């Protein structure tokens, strides 16, 4: 299978590495937006900026320049850009005959006439490339561990059976299990909201509030995630799977989580711009949180933890004030 991965960040590189080492002998091309970055990877045989110390296999081809040229005769195209760049990339790929899957997790920031409350990735695709056979590859996965061939389980979600089957054939291997799922709405909501909840968990842990607080936050966060997903048309059981509970637990508790790290730093009182500058990578939860909250408000869905995270990110509440506001909420029945 000829696979092209568009985007040479940490996750795009890890996915390309996994496919290139697949027992089926896939022909894999990793495309970088930056020509100097592609040249550096070619010379050093590693992506030193995003995955230092991980060797790129000789079979992995590197490309830059025109993305459509790199996708010529591809059997599968993987879009590994951040959420903010997805619309532009799908617009370029709208005539593709090959299946397309994205890796980004989030809601597109609301802007212009696209949507008053922001869109999930499949909704963006429906606007700009409705004829594409498309889907998402998601689930609990740190790029570094995938690049090291450590055991990982992912979800291939699409309304098209052929897309799900292609993703399974491309990535299911001795180190990566890929489960198919028709519920693309639920898989995308889980991937988006868990980043926001990971910031909240980082704040709780950074304030040293204890394991009871962490468990409560993750559990009630899962309830928020499920409420929003069901309101958008997802199946409730999806959120008990890899792209819901699995991804939430990983991102909220794992030391490699960028979003959790943002929360840890916010708890110290460090300004958000400084945190993001020092992070050096995209933390999708920071950009997704306001849009998740806007979408929830438009649907009449209660998401108090998300609301508190947005207030902290916008500087309207300090971390301690946000926790206090959550704890003072009126008593209610669970469920």
Q: Which of 260, 261, 262, 282 is nearest to 272 (CA)?
A: 262
Q: Is the pLDDT of residue 199 over 90?
A: yes
Q: Which of 2, 105, 194, 270 is catalytic?
A: 194
| Tens-place pLDDT, residues 271-327 | 999 999 998 877 899 999 999 999 999 999 999 999 999 999 999 999 999 999 999
Q: Considering only CA atoms, which of 246, 129, 252, 145 is closest in space to residue 186?
A: 246
State how far Cα 145 lies from the chain centre. Answer: 15
Active site (annotated) includes residue 194: yes
Tokens of residue 181, six digits: 């799922």
pLDDT at position 116? 61
- Residue 335 scores a pLDDT above 90: no
> Which pLDDT band, with edges at 50, 70 and 90, does 166 fall under?
very high
Query: How far is Cα 19 from Cα 22, in angstroms, rounded to an integer?
Result: 5
Q: How confident is the model at residue 114 (pLDDT cuts 50, 70, 90)?
A: low
SS3 for 55?
strand
- The whole-angstrom separation of Cα 277 and Cα 101 is 29
Is the pLDDT confidence value at 113 over 80? no
Q: Which two tokens stand for residue 270?
A: 């460090």
Q: Tell me the per-residue pLDDT of 169-188, one tens digit each, with 9 for 90 and over.
A: 999 999 999 999 999 999 99
CA pair distance 57, 219, nearest whole angstrom: 41
pLDDT in tens, 228-253: 999 999 999 999 999 999 999 999 99
| 251-279 pLDDT per residue, tens | 999 999 999 999 999 999 999 999 999 98
- Please answer whether residues 15 and 9 qualify as being in contact, where contact means their C-beta atoms are separated by less than 8 angstroms: no
Residue 214, token pair as written in the block: 């962490």
Q: Give the separation between CA 34 and CA 85, rounded to whole angstroms.
A: 14
Tokens 């926790």 sit on residue:
323
CA 30 and chain centroid, separation: 19
So what's the pLDDT on residue 118? 86
- Mean pLDDT, the chain, rounded, equals 96
CA angle 24/28/29 to nearest 5° reads: 180
Closest CA to 50 of 33, 65, 29: 33
The residue whose two tokens read 């979600």 is 157
């Amino acid at each position: 299978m000829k696979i092209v991965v568009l985007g040479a960040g940490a996750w795009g590189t890890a996915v390309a590495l996994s496919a290139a080492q697949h027992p089926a002998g896939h022909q894999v091309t990793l495309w970088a937006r930056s020509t100097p970055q592609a040249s550096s990877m070619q010379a050093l045989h590693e992506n030193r900026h995003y995955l230092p110390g991980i060797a790129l296999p000789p079979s992995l081809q590197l490309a830059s320049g025109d993305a459509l040229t790199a996708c010529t005769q591809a059997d599968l195209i993987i879009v590994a850009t951040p959420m903010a760049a997805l619309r532009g990339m799908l617009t370029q790929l709208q005539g593709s005959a090959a299946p397309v899957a994205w890796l980004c997790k989030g809601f597109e920031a609301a802007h212009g006439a696209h949507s008053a409350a922001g869109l999930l990735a499949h909704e963006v695709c429906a606007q700009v490339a409705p004829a594409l056979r498309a889907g998402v590859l998601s689930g609990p996965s740190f790029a570094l561990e995938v690049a090291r061939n450590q055991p990982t389980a992912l979800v291939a979600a699409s309304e098209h059976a052929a897309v799900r089957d292609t993703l399974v054939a491309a990535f299911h291997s001795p180190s990566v299990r890929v489960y198919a799922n028709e519920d693309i709405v639920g898989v995308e909501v889980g991937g988006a909201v868990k980043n926001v909840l990971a910031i909240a968990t980082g704040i709780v842990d950074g304030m040293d509030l204890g394991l009871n607080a962490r468990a409560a936050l993750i559990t009630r966060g899962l309830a928020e995630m499920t409420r929003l997903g069901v309101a958008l048309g997802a199946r409730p059981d999806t959120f008990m799977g890899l792209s819901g509970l699995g991804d939430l637990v990983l991102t909220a508790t794992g030391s490699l989580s960028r979003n959790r790290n943002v929360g840890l730093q916010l708890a110290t009182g460090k300004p958000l711009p400084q945190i993001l500058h020092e992070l050096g990578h995209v933390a999708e939860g920071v950009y997704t949180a306001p849009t998740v909250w806007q979408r929830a408000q438009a649907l009449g869905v209660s998401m108090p933890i998300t609301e508190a995270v947005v207030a902290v990110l916008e500087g309207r509440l300090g971390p301690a004030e946000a926790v206090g506001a959550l704890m003072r909420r009126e008593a209610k029945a669970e469920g």
